[in-house]
Amino acid sequence: KMGIETLRLGEFEHNELMHGYQITFHKIPATPFKIGYLPRSLFPSKTVLEFLLDFGKKHRVVFFKIEPNVRKADFNNKTIRQFNNLTLSPHPLFPDWTIQLDLTLPEGELMKRMKSKTRYNVRLAQKKGVVVKEMSTDEGFKIFSNLYFETCKRQRYFGHTNRYHSLIWNSLKKETAHILIAFHQNVPLAAYE
């Protein structure tokens, strides 16, 4: 639906799929070249890296940006240095850390596990009348979208297009996506999709 060229690779052992990779290709404007992007996967094996190098030469791929889903403590420059053609990107698209939050816990237990300053800020926001509502509706999406593009403009950030967000929302809204919006006196302040 997005019109992005995709390559799916599988690593097999004895006819059993061991690892899968999905690479997207993004055209560089006004050139015949493109960039390959491999997010949130295992770090590719030497065999896969060699395949990508060969594939890239044949298909005008200037470089591959690989952002593996690995713990920072387990992955460092030494891992990269063992491959001649790899360098650590100074500008990753994803944060280099992820927080896993068990939402099955009672609210009191979640609050207890937060830093005291976070608990203070939550209570202060509640005291000042900030209310968070789930609005996983088309109306909620419109509020999210308006806040997103206002933020992009204000911070001079070039985020995804409205078409992109609409496609994602319409594809995931029935079962997966949720939108949370923080309001103060019925004015939306922040939204999360």
Given a cut of 70, is residue 140 above it in pLDDT? yes
Burial class (CB in 10 A: 0-12, 13-18, 19+), 182: middle
Per-position DSSP letters for 47-79, written without gaps between them = HHHHHHHHHHHHTTEEEEEEE----GGG--HHH
Q: Give the residue extent of every domain in the chain.
A: 5-81, 129-192
- Cα–Cα distance for residue pair 192/69, rounded to 1 Å: 22
pLDDT band at residue 77 under the 50/70/90 scheme: low
pLDDT for the residue 74: 64
**pTM confidence score:** 0.67
Question: What pLDDT is recorded for position 89?
Answer: 72
State which fold the 5-81 domain adopts.
Answer: Aminopeptidase (3.40.630)
Q: Does residue 151 carry a pLDDT above 90?
A: yes
Question: What's 175's DSSP letter?
Answer: T
